[in-house]
Structure 1
């Protein structure tokens, strides 16, 4: 059983909701990202999602775009992030997921990218610009390496397409809460609730809601609809504006809100 599956099994057994925390890898530098991973894990994060900074992102809003630009300016590269994953694994067994774009994978080579990250200790990959019709490009190598290729669904995903996606889901299903890019905003979860109901009827793989969650109360509200919440822009905004202590406080507040029950 993968680390992701084990974590969600543990959460289900204890009746808790999952907290997936996103960090832009390489902000403010690799050492700073490593410190933030440890802080978030200690504060109660269940899964860490590391974003590989990319110069032309499709799904990232202004906060993560800014963090990615700063990370690239600091000299962050995919090989350095690979080493970061290895370093994390020396002291932690928290499930690790990479969020990246397909060009970053193709630049390295699909088989080499997947194999090297699997060997380093990665558990999952999210590729928002890889359509289902082309996912076999990556899926075969992920399966061989024991990495979960995580699929995304959105309010605009049709029932027919949901059925097709649910045949390939692994790890958890990334439920995009609303149309648009990442970023903190008021979210009407009714937009995604019908999609979530359909996915639940098709698969037992856990569901995680992301995009827009900007507060502990927002996380608690989102958790009513899914098994876990994904918080990214709100963490990175605090990290860039106030430093690492602020994400410790923020993550702790999210963990507490989720554990209060929904």
Structure 2
């Protein structure tokens, strides 16, 4: 079964036609539990997310800040496995029809088997994979498997990426480009600065792929600020925090749905 890379492209194109950025939400699978995680991802789409990223929890998430590290730890202590990640993708996509990507570090995929992982992700209806720590020079095995199964391969670029490096990355990436808004780890920030806008400008000079910005967006005003210059606004830690801070699951799910609605309004406001 082919993946949903075409669906991902059509959703991003539709947002552009509507004169707005797409809203992309992130949650790790298995958090707070596998079943609750499926419900939370579904609530994000119901609230207004166009696209969702399901994280594969990792014991050493070097690019993630304390909020997502806490959620990953809860998921890992709960015994989450790759099969649970695939199940989360499958059930979230089936429930919402939205494009669902997996965001993962390379090591778990490498150990599991890139071909096997791509096949199972595609069979579940996944749209692609975001691989923040996989160098393009070492990505051929994965990219071939992803292409064979109709999956996007999304690479991450950072403000430190030189123009020639950006061109090398965007030449082989598909789906969209994930632009990290600042140097450092994930987490909410007081502001999402000029570095992000400059990175989007430089990235667009190398590719026609949509450029989505993540790291630091936590509320509607910040979403509107980023939406002025990005094709997509990616939010993760703020959603995780709603679940972490909630006294019970139902309150957390309501908080996730509400936040998605506020952010969806923000990406339409654009500043």
Q: Root-mean-square deviation (CA), in Å? A: 1.3
Q: 2:93–2:100: 8 Å Cα contact kept in structure 1?
A: no
Among 208, 211, 217, which residue is 2:215 paired with? 211
Q: Out of 164-173 and 18-27, give the one that drifted further.
A: 164-173
- 1:89 deviation in Å? 3.5
- 1:75 deviation in Å? 1.7
- 1:16 deviation in Å? 2.0
Q: 1:58–1:129: 8 Å Cα contact kept in structure 2?
A: no
Cα distance in 2, alignment partners of residues 174 and 191 from structure 1: 14
Q: 2:26–2:52: 8 Å Cα contact kept in structure 1?
A: yes
Does 2:261 correspond to 1:252? yes
- In structure 1, runs of 5+ residues without a counterpart are none
Partner of 1:32: 36
Among 222, 225, 229, which residue is 2:226 paired with? 222
User: Structure 1 261/187 Cα, relative in aligned 2: closer, same or farther at 3 Å?
Assistant: closer
Cα distance in 2, alignment partners of residues 260 and 89 from structure 1: 27
Partner of 2:249: none
- 1:77 deviation in Å? 0.7
Partner of 1:17: 21
- 1:57 deviation in Å? 1.0
Partner of 1:181: 185
Aligned residues: 262
Cα distance in 2, alignment partners of residues 259 and 248 from structure 1: 17
- 1:198 deviation in Å? 1.9
Cα distance in 2, alignment partners of residues 156 and 27 from structure 1: 32
**Structure 1 residues 57-86: Cα deviation after superposition (integer angstroms, max 9, x where no partner):** 111110000000001111211112212222
TM-score by length of 2: 0.93
